[in-house]
C-alpha cells in the first residue's frame, strides 16, 4: 500500500511540474502561441519616404540652354533661376510687338481727335481700336514667351538630377530638372484593406528606415481614396515628427503598429 501511494504522489508531482512549465511559457513573450505570432506579423508593413514637394521641371518652349547654376545634390531657394534659355529671338519679337502696339495706340488717338471734328466716321475709330487691341494681344504673347526663357524654383529644395546640360538645344516639353524638398517627407505604406476596421487617422505607429535603423514615431494622417482590387491593399500616409533629421526621399523601411486595436 505504501509503495502504491508513493507512485500516486510521484504522478501528481510530475503533473504539477508540467502545469507550472505551461504557465511559465504562456507568460513568456518569447514563447507566444502561433496565433499570437501571426497577429503580430499581420500588423507590420513595408513603406517608403516620399516628399510632398517634388517635381520634374520641363521646358515650356524650344531653345538653347545657356545657364544651369545648380547641379545634382545642390540646394536652392524658392524663386532662384534653375535654367535660363537663349532668349534673343523672343526678346526681339517682343520689342517689335511692343512697337506695333505703340503705333496702334497713336493711330487710335489720332482717329479719335479727327472724329471730334467730324473728319472721320465712327467706323474708322472702331477699326483703329481693333488694330490696337490686336497689337496689344500680340505683344502679350511674346511677353509670355520671354518670361518662359527662365525656369524658377517653385519651392526650396535640392536638385535630384539634371536631365539636360548647358548649351544643349531642347524641344518644348523636354524634362530639364528633377527637384525635391526633403523637409516635406511623409511615410507611405500599402496596408491590407482588412485593417480598415481599426485603422483611423490619428493612430500612431513606429517606422524604422532601413538606412538609419532609428525608430520614428509616426501618426496616420490620411488614408487612400480607393482599395486596389488586385492586391486588396490601401494607401496610408503618415506624418513624421518635426525633429526628424537625416532622412531622404526614397528611403524604405518597416512599419509596426505596437498598440492593440
- Interval 205-257: pLDDT, tens: 999 999 999 999 999 999 999 999 999 999 999 999 988 999 999 999 999 99
Q: Which cell goes with 74?
A: 545642390
CA-nearest of 196, 210, 205, 194 to 255 is 205
Sheet of 157-162: strand order equals 54-58, 175-180, 157-162, 75-76
Which of these ranges, 7-21, 35-49, 198-212, has the smallest mean pLDDT? 7-21
How far is the C-alpha of 249 from the C-alpha of 157, rounded, in Å? 12
- Residue 164 vs residues 29, 69, 131, 150: alpha-carbon distances, Å: 56, 13, 42, 15
How far is the C-alpha of 121 from the C-alpha of 127, rounded, in Å? 10
Q: Are 205 and 238 in contact (CB under 8 A)?
A: yes
CA-nearest of 155, 176, 201 to 52 is 155
User: What average pLDDT score do residues 14-35 get?
Assistant: 41
Question: What one-character DSSP code corresponds to residue 240?
Answer: P
Does the predicted TM-score (pTM) go above 0.75?
no
- The HSE-up count of residue 3 (CA atoms within 13 Å, CB side) is 0
How far is the C-alpha of 122 from the C-alpha of 195, rounded, in Å? 75
pLDDT tens digits for range 72-104: 999 999 999 999 999 999 999 999 999 999 999
Beta strand 44-51 pairing with 252-256: antiparallel
**Domains delineated in the chain:** 36-52+183-256 (2.40.30.170), 54-180 (2.40.50.100)
Q: Report how far apart the first and last C-alpha atoms of the chain are (Å, whole number).
A: 58
How far is the C-alpha of 200 from the C-alpha of 245, rounded, in Å? 26
Q: Which cell goes with 82?
A: 534653375
Non-local (6+) Cβ contacts of 23 within 8 A are: none
Q: Across-strand partners of 180?
A: 54, 158
Amino acid at each position: 500500500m505504501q509503495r502504491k501511494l508513493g507512485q500516486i504522489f510521484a504522478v501528481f508531482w510530475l503533473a504539477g511540474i508540467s502545469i507550472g512549465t505551461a504557465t511559465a511559457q504562456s507568460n513568456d513573450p518569447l514563447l507566444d502561441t502561433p496565433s499570437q505570432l501571426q497577429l503580430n506579423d499581420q500588423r507590420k508593413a513595408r513603406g517608403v519616404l516620399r516628399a510632398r514637394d517634388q517635381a520634374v521641371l520641363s521646358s515650356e518652349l524650344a531653345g538653347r540652354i545657356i545657364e544651369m547654376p545648380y547641379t545634382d545634390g545642390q540646394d536652392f531657394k524658392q524663386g532662384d533661376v534653375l535654367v535660363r534659355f537663349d532668349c534673343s529671338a523672343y526678346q526681339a519679337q517682343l520689342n517689335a510687338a511692343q512697337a506695333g502696339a505703340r503705333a496702334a495706340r497713336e493711330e487710335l488717338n489720332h482717329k479719335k481727335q479727327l472724329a471730334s471734328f467730324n473728319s472721320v466716321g465712327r467706323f474708322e475709330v472702331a477699326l483703329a481700336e481693333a488694330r490696337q487691341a490686336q497689337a496689344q494681344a500680340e505683344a502679350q504673347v511674346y511677353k509670355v514667351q520671354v518670361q518662359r526663357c527662365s525656369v524658377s524654383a517653385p519651392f526650396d529644395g535640392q536638385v535630384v538630377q539634371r536631365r539636360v546640360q548647358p548649351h544643349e538645344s531642347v524641344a518644348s516639353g523636354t524634362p530639364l530638372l528633377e527637384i525635391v524638398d526633403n523637409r516635406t517627407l511623409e511615410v507611405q505604406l500599402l496596408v491590407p484593406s482588412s485593417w480598415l476596421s481599426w485603422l483611423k487617422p490619428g493612430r500612431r505607429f513606429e517606422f524604422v528606415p532601413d538606412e538609419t535603423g532609428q525608430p520614428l514615431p509616426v501618426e496616420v494622417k490620411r488614408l487612400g481614396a480607393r482599395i486596389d482590387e488586385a492586391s486588396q491593399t490601401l494607401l496610408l500616409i503618415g506624418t513624421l515628427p518635426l525633429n526628424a533629421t537625416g532622412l531622404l526621399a526614397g528611403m524604405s523601411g518597416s512599419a509596426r503598429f505596437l498598440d492593440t486595436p
